[in-house]
């Protein structure tokens, strides 16, 4: 997390009903639209991302509504479980957790839903548990090709502000995000970007709600205020984060993360290990999940690395537990942080006696060196 953001938050809390608050509120509310790339409202909740998942479902849908949810990994599966708690009827399309959502399968499923019983298609943009992204523009095309009226709901909690996201252009109806990933803030704010169609659906929703209700938020936000106490100090940080992202340029931010993803994969391949994501177009720019060879335990490797080098890597969640570890390269991350990360892993592989070829770090450095200062070019060449 950048110190600039922490410093921006390190200020007295101002009165959220006071006359000076509106300017802050409007800066945050307008600014976040430039990150989602939408013209319509983005609702900002004082909550973590799990709350924004719930918000999307309880506003746009009603008990008994069917929705198609693609289980691209652990987080997609948690979202489907959450839907059941509100008496929604999720139809889960499974994957092998090594790719994003399959637009063709979705199109086929929607074509067979002649009665339009399916009210929403729910997809995770960047699946944090696997390092696979879903191609949201393709999902939109599939829905349109099937001439299906279902809402397109996208969880971009770990994608937003790290991977390109285009709410309006891609025809997303509800996008869910959180503060603690690409926005480089502490956890505590979450977001629902909403389309006119989604707002229309929310007006017909019969699900009981109050804290998450879009209507009161949208009404109060028009003047820069909130219907209940907002996360004021987090809003200070959000305004600073948006400023930083535009200073660097969103395209440069995305290219930086893609380039770090490529450098990471080059190291992984040199080690002779496998990247969890099998589809090149769906490699996550946010993180890379790496499989350890059969007969070895990724958690033992992680523990050796933590013990020796004080670096905590992400673990494999639920059905990939012990099978993979995750290398994050999101947010405020630069070449030398990546060099350090990969160095810790290469030494750890050796100490934990995981069979591998050395030279991964050297290979990644070669790539970083040859593309240094050429962020945009390197990204275009991928």
Other Cβ atoms less than 10 A from the Cβ of 296: the count is: 17
Counting contacts by CB under 8 A, is residue 46 touching its own copies?
Answer: yes
Among 11, 22, 23, 337, binds its own copies (CB under 8 A): 11
- Give the nearer residue to its own copies in terms of CB position, either 252 or 303: 303
Stretch in the footprint of its own copies (CB under 8 A) among 24-32, 44-52, 140-148, 277-285: 44-52
State the Cα–Cα distance between residues 188 and 44, nearest whole angstrom.
Answer: 10
Task: In angstroms, give the least distance from the CB of 86 to its own copies.
Answer: 5
Among 186, 224, 272, 322, binds its own copies (CB under 8 A): 186
Among 178, 182, 261, 316, binds its own copies (CB under 8 A): 178
- Give the nearer residue to its own copies in terms of CB position, either 182 or 230: 230
- Give the nearer residue to its own copies in terms of CB position, either 208 or 280: 208
Task: In angstroms, give the least distance from the CB of 60 to its own copies.
Answer: 15
Stretch in the footprint of its own copies (CB under 8 A) among 13-21, 118-126, 244-252, 286-294: 13-21
- Best CA proximity match to 288, nearest among 261, 258, 315: 261
Counting contacts by CB under 8 A, is residue 182 touching its own copies?
Answer: no
Q: Among positive and negative, which fits the CA dihedral 337, 292, 126, 61?
A: negative
Task: Show the binding pattern over residues 67-106: x = contacts its own copies (CB under 8 A), - = does not.
Answer: ---------------x--xxx-------------------
Other Cβ atoms less than 10 A from the Cβ of 219: the count is: 11
Other Cβ atoms less than 10 A from the Cβ of 303: the count is: 16
Stretch in the footprint of its own copies (CB under 8 A) among 25-33, 140-148, 165-173, 181-189: 181-189
The alpha carbons of the chain give a radius of gyration, in whole angstroms, of: 21
Contact set for its own copies, span 279-318 (CB under 8 A): 306, 312, 315
Counting contacts by CB under 8 A, is residue 210 touching its own copies?
Answer: yes
Stretch in the footprint of its own copies (CB under 8 A) among 123-131, 227-235, 286-294, 373-381: 227-235
Q: How many residues bind its own copies (CB under 8 A)?
A: 47
Report CA-CA distances (Å) from 122 to 140, 272, 308: 11, 35, 41
For residues 21 and 239, is the Cβ–Cβ distance under 8 A? no
Counting contacts by CB under 8 A, is residue 218 touching its own copies?
Answer: no
For residues 181 and 51, is the Cβ–Cβ distance under 8 A? no
Counting contacts by CB under 8 A, is residue 340 touching its own copies?
Answer: no
State the Cα–Cα distance between residues 236 and 246, nearest whole angstrom.
Answer: 16
Report CA-CA distances (Å) from 192 to 154, 298, 367, 368: 10, 35, 37, 36
Among 188, 272, 322, 359, binds its own copies (CB under 8 A): 188
Tokens 């959450």 identify what position? 82
Report CA-CA distances (Å) from 310 to 73, 307, 342, 345, 361: 27, 6, 13, 11, 18
Task: In angstroms, give the least distance from the CB of 126 to its own copies.
Answer: 16
- Give the nearer residue to its own copies in terms of CB position, either 95 or 180: 180
Counting contacts by CB under 8 A, is residue 211 touching its own copies?
Answer: yes
Q: How many helices (H) and strands (E) does the chain have?
A: 14, 13
Q: Judging by DSSP bridges, how do beta strands 174-178 and 126-127 pair with one another?
A: unpaired
Structure tokens belonging to residue 151: 């809402």
Helices (H), the chain: 3-9, 21-36, 49-60, 74-85, 103-111, 136-145, 196-204, 214-221, 232-248, 250-271, 298-309, 335-351, 360-370, 375-381
Contact set for its own copies, span 103-142 (CB under 8 A): none
For residues 104 and 72, is the Cβ–Cβ distance under 8 A? no
For residues 322 and 316, is the Cβ–Cβ distance under 8 A? yes
Task: In angstroms, give the least distance from the CB of 265 to its own copies.
Answer: 23
State the Cα–Cα distance between residues 186 and 209, nearest whole angstrom.
Answer: 26
Counting contacts by CB under 8 A, is residue 66 touching its own copies?
Answer: no
Stretch in the footprint of its own copies (CB under 8 A) among 194-202, 229-237, 347-355, 368-376: 229-237
Counting contacts by CB under 8 A, is residue 228 touching its own copies?
Answer: yes
Among 23, 34, 39, 63, binds its own copies (CB under 8 A): 63
Binding site for its own copies (CB under 8 A): 1, 6-7, 9-13, 15-19, 45-51, 54, 63, 82, 85-87, 178, 180, 186-188, 207-211, 213, 228-234, 306, 312, 315
């Amino acid at each position: 997390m950048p110190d600039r953001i922490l410093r921006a938050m390190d200020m007295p809390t101002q009165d959220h009903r006071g006359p000076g608050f509106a300017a802050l509120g409007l800066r945050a509310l307008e600014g976040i639209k430039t990150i989602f790339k939408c013209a319509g409202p983005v609702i900002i909740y004082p909550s973590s991302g799990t709350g924004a998942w719930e918000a999307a479902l309880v506003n746009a849908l009603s008990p008994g509504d069917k929705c198609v949810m693609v289980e691209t990994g652990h987080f997609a599966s948690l979202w489907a479980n959450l839907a059941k708690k509100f008496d929604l009827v999720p139809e889960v399309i499974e994957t092998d957790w090594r790719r994003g959502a399959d637009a063709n399968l979705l199109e086929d499923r929607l074509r067979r839903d002649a009665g339009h019983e399916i009210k929403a298609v729910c997809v995770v943009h960047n699946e944090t548990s696997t390092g696979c992204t879903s191609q949201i523009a393709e999902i939109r095309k599939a829905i349109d090709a099937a001439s299906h009226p279902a809402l397109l709901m996208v969880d971009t909690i770990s994608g937003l502000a790290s991977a390109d996201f285009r709410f309006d252009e891609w025809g997303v109806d509800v996008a869910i995000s959180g503060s603690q990933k690409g926005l480089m803030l502490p956890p505590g704010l979450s977001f629902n970007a909403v389309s006119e169609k989604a707002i229309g659906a929310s007006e017909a929703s019969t699900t009981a709600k109050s804290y998450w209700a879009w209507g009161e938020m949208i009404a109060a936000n028009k003047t820069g205020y909130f219907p209940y106490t907002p996360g004021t100090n987090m809003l200070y940080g959000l305004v600073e984060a948006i400023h930083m992202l535009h200073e660097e340029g969103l395209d440069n931010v995305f290219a930086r993360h893609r380039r770090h993803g490529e450098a990471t994969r080059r190291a992984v391949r040199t080690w002779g290990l496998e990247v969890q994501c099998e589809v090149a177009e769906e490699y996550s720019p946010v993180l890379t999940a790496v499989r350890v060879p059969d007969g070895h335990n990724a958690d033992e490797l992680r523990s050796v690395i933590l013990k020796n080098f004080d670096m905590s890597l992400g673990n494999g969640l639920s059905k990939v537990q012990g099978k993979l570890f995750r290398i994050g390269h999101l947010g405020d991350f630069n070449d030398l942080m990546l060099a350090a990360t990969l160095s810790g892993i290469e030494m750890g592989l050796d100490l934990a006696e995981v069979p591998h070829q050395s030279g991964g770090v050297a290979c990644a450095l070669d790539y970083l060196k040859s593309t240094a200062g050429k962020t945009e070019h390197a990204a275009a060449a991928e």
